[in-house]
A and B are shown apart, each in its own frame.
Chain A
Amino acid sequence: MQLSLLLYILSLKLQIAAKMNKAFRNYIGTVQLKILIKTADGKWGRLFVFDKGKVTSIGGGNHNCDAALVWSDPGTAFKTMVKASDEATFYAAAAGKVKVEGMAYYIQWFNDGVKLTM
């Protein structure tokens, strides 16, 4: 529940930034990408769709995507993501709590974009 709320708030931030934040608008440019953040069991998640400057999102963990950040469980996902720190994600990855599906660079691109909205 906490994770779903966090991802929903993140989607709102990105949508607002796509309209109001010049740096973010420039960053996402005309990129067309689908980034999924989900739990390994697919029960929790949200798809972030970047389509030529527009950002939309759909709830749920079962969507086709270009890259996915897959968390072992919703609790770890929430605790780590709410810290918004590279270091926290690094240690979660080292502990096997998160992994990437698809191209890792797209996840990095997504994370760098999120930082612009903070």
Chain B
Amino acid sequence: MTQILGGHLVGKYMKEVEKVDTVFCISGGHIEAILDSFTEYRIRTIDVRHEQAAAMMAQAWSVYTGRPGVCLVTAGPGFTNALTGIANAYLDNAPLVVLCGRHPLRDDLKGALQEMNQMDVVKPITKWAATCYETKRIPEYLNMAFRHAVEGRPGPVFLELPPDILNVKVPLERVPMITRMTRKYTVHPDDWDLRQAADIINMAKRPLFIGGSGIGLSCCSASLSQFIDKSGIPFILLNYGRGELPDNHPMSLWDIGNVGIQLGITQADVIVAVGFRFNWLLQSGAIIPPQTKVIRIDIDPHEVDRNRVADVGLVGDASSVLSQLIPLIKRGEHSEWIKTLRAASNAFLDPELKLRVAPSSPIHPIRLVAQIQKFVGDDAIYVVDGGDTQYFGLTGFFSKEKAGVMATAAGLLGCLGTGIPFAMAAKLARPDKKVVLLQGDGSFGFNSMEFDTMVRHNIPVVCVVNNDTAWGMIKHSQELSIGCDRLQCAELGERHYEKMVEGLGGYGEFVTKDEEIIPALERAFQSGKPACINVMTDPTVTSPATPLFYQSLKMD
């Protein structure tokens, strides 16, 4: 009778059933048997320097690969360190599987090493959380975890595995091993609702399509492409939906960026919102005029009427619902509306467009982004992290790749520090693509030790620091709210982050002049190392995101 260690059941199930090939982790005594199973079953481990990065990388892995990302953390501080990443995945609806160590069951309430009630802490920020108490049920619990992560509206799940079940052997024959990979099931909207939606779309004069993370998580580029081609509706893809169709698609409005979104929303007569929440960035739906017809498609029925009662709500997976709508809609033609929207937006964007092409001293962040884009092009993956920096990156970078321009800090948690883990995961998931990270100098501090991880695992990301020597968004917001003379905890000073990266074994450059930007990028990519180009930019520049942020926190 073959005996198998409980910990090895983890690797066996994940590799053989869920086809997991990469896990993001930090080692720890409580989880040693699981780590050993990764050797046994040839699962690649990316061991980071802080568990927060492991959770964020696993979340990013799900975005870049379309499969749930897995992170493994040890008990106690390993668990608490991962919490920010788990919370971020929860608010982003990302399918993240967190496996976590635990103090031994036998030592409960004895003051065991790293003993704490992890479950009560993690439950509010996970879709599903459980402790497995029996070795032979480990595959069953893992199966439940993966199922909950991907089914319906995706989200993070948490499975606690104590040493009492990991460090004992059981006969393999007695372990019920599920053999089928987790499947994603979908629901379908009512036929009458589908026809209603099609009627509204067919009558629209100034329609606008907004796709959010639900588009990306549905991996629906084929059905989305058909829907857009047939309906003729201009579209903007946001959050993890971005790149499901390329930014340079003729109907994409990314060329007019946030201004285009704002104007489009206020002037459209029909808005088709798919997998997209009407959150604070859309003033919780208040930005949409009352007379505008709204069609919402979402996998979560609770989302359909949230913050704005939809004229038609279609519940289901984005790809499935769009496929069902395609035969019901007429071929649409809205080129005049698109031309008008572009022309109006460009009148407001004119200053930004001029900044892109004019050399500046000190370097303007918009110019910095334009120079990076000019050198790297659209066959690349861009990650952006920061406050003001995320605005400049999101509106200035264009990619033809799925999830080609990501700024997780612009998500609901507003989680600065996600840039480095996301960029690392992007490079690991798509090693053939150039990965550029535009990083604010403030947010650089949260996960910058991960340059060590990049060096150890040979992950050559090129990071460009937009260094305005401050927490820019906070600083400029404070200037509006409490005045320039009373800034508090807003300044950072000029720091040589590139030297820190060099010290960790990467490549570094310090840039202060416009003409130095592209040559520095050339050398950074040529180095083949993880690189940091520290670019000093104009500290007085404010992005439009800052006053929006400032206004959102004002109370009547």
Contacts and interface: CB of A to CB of B under 8 A. Distances in A.
B182 interface: no
Contacts, number: 67
Contacts of A75: none
Interface residues of A, number: 28
A31 B546 CA distance: 13
Contacts of A100: 347-348, 350-351
A104 interface: yes
B544 A105 contact: yes
Nearest to B262: A108
B344 A104 contact: no
Contacts of A104: 259, 348-349, 351-352, 544
Contacts of A96: 343, 347
B23 to A, nearest CB: 43
B344 A105 contact: no
Nearest to B339: A94
Contacts of A58: none
A103 B351 contact: yes
A19 interface: no
B493 interface: no
A55 B215 CA distance: 46
A93 B347 contact: yes
B340 interface: yes
A2 interface: no
Interface stretch (B95-103, B433-441, B477-485): B477-485
Nearest to B546: A105
A27 to B, nearest CB: 8
Given A29-B480, A30-B482, A90 B349 contact: no
Nearest to A112: B551
Nearest to B263: A90
Contact of B340 (A31, A94, A109): A94
Contacts of B352: 104
A48 B30 CA distance: 65
Contacts of A87: 267
Contact of B547 (A86, A90, A102, A105): A105
Contact of A94 (B344, B350, B351, B542): B344
A107 interface: yes
Contacts of A31: 480
B351 A101 contact: yes
Contact of B348 (A27, A32, A86, A99): A99
B180 interface: no
Contact of B481 (A23, A30, A98, A105): A30
A82 to B, nearest CB: 19
B302 interface: no
Contacts of A29: 480-481, 554
Contacts of B481: 29-30
B190 interface: no
Interface string A10-36: 000000000000010011011110000
A71 B252 CA distance: 29
Interface string A65-76: 000000000000
Interface string B246-279: 0000000000000100110011000000000000
A26 B556 contact: yes
A29 to B, nearest CB: 7
A53 B489 CA distance: 24
With a 10 A CB-CB cut-off, give which of A32, A94, A100 has the most chain B CB atoms: A94
Contact of B344 (A52, A90, A103, A109): A90
A86 B547 CA distance: 20
B105 interface: no
Nearest to A89: B344
B548 interface: yes
Contacts of B262: 108
Interface in B507-556: 542, 544, 547-548, 551, 554, 556
Nearest to A97: B347
A8 interface: no
B354 to A, nearest CB: 9
A86 B340 contact: no
A102 B347 contact: no
A96 B347 CA distance: 7
A78 interface: no
A40 to B, nearest CB: 12
A107 B542 CA distance: 14
Contacts of A99: 347-348, 350
Contact of A86 (B266, B479, B484, B544): B266
A104 B350 CA distance: 9
Contacts of A86: 266-267
Interface in B346-369: 347-352
A103 B483 contact: no
Contacts of B267: 86-87, 90
A43 B236 CA distance: 39
A104 B346 CA distance: 11
B460 to A, nearest CB: 36
Contact of A103 (B341, B479, B484, B542): B542
B548 to A, nearest CB: 7
A62 B103 CA distance: 71
Contacts of B340: 91, 94
A26 B547 contact: no
Interface of A: 23, 26-27, 29-32, 52, 86-87, 90-91, 93-96, 98-109
10 cross-chain pairs, A with B, having the tightest CB-CB distances, nearest first:
A105-B544, A93-B347, A94-B344, A93-B344, A104-B348, A94-B343, A99-B347, A94-B340, A100-B348, A90-B344
11 contacts: A29-B480, A29-B481, A30-B480, A32-B479, A87-B267, A91-B340, A99-B347, A101-B351, A103-B351, A103-B544, A104-B349
Given A30-B482, A104-B351, 4 more contacts: A31-B480, A86-B266, A101-B350, A109-B547
